[in-house]
């Protein structure tokens, strides 16, 4: 059997078990008793009565905190989905105007001297960094079928 017997299923990050409800009940009963003692002793001994009243009010504040803290902020938790895109780097040789397209590498930036040209042994410069459009992806995927 699992280790969380007696607890209900968590809903949107909120865990509610019988232990939490019992703690709220006990704190509530003690707070009510403390308020009762505070009102009873108010005419006889004001100092003790104020302590009882403060303890009772603090108990109810703690109950409010426990109830609002366990309340889920949203009914539906949304996760951010980041789509993976294909990014390409376009290289161009300034001497012979040869163009080459390759996958993007970390550290690429426009006007960077990147690779030697295969045609004239000059240095190829990165002229464009772009991503593949959705339509092109769909065409490529459907052409394999």
The tens digit of pLDDT for each residue in 14-58 reads 455 778 788 888 999 999 999 999 999 888 888 999 999 999 999
More confident residue, 94 or 3: 94
What are 52's two structure tokens? 């009882």
Please state the rounded mean pLDDT for residues 99-115: 91
Element (H, E) at 30: helix 18-41
Please state the rounded mean pLDDT for residues 126-131: 92
CA distances from 109 to 34, 64, 89, 128 (A): 70, 55, 9, 8
Confidence of residue 85 (pLDDT cuts 50, 70, 90): confident
What's the pLDDT at 31? 93
**Distance from C-alpha of 31 to C-alpha of 26, rounded to nearest angstrom:** 8
Q: Strand, coil or helix: what is 107? A: coil
Residues 6 or more apart whose Cβ sits within 8 Å of residue 58:
31
């Amino acid at each position: 059997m699992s280790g969380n017997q007696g607890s209900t299923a968590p809903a949107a990050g909120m865990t509610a078990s019988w232990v939490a409800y019992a703690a709220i009940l006990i704190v509530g009963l003690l707070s009510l008793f403390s308020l009762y003692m505070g009102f009873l002793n108010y005419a006889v001994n004001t100092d003790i009565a104020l302590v009882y009243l403060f303890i009772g009010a603090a108990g109810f504040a703690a109950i409010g905190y426990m109830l609002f803290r366990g309340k889920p902020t949203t009914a539906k938790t949304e996760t951010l989905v980041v789509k993976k895109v294909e990014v390409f780097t376009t290289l161009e040789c300034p001497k012979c105007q040869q163009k080459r397209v390759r996958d993007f590498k970390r550290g690429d930036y426009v006007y960077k001297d990147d690779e030697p040209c295969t045609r004239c042994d000059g240095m190829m410069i990165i002229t464009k960094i772009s991503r593949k459009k959705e339509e092109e992806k769909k065409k490529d995927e459907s052409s394999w079928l």
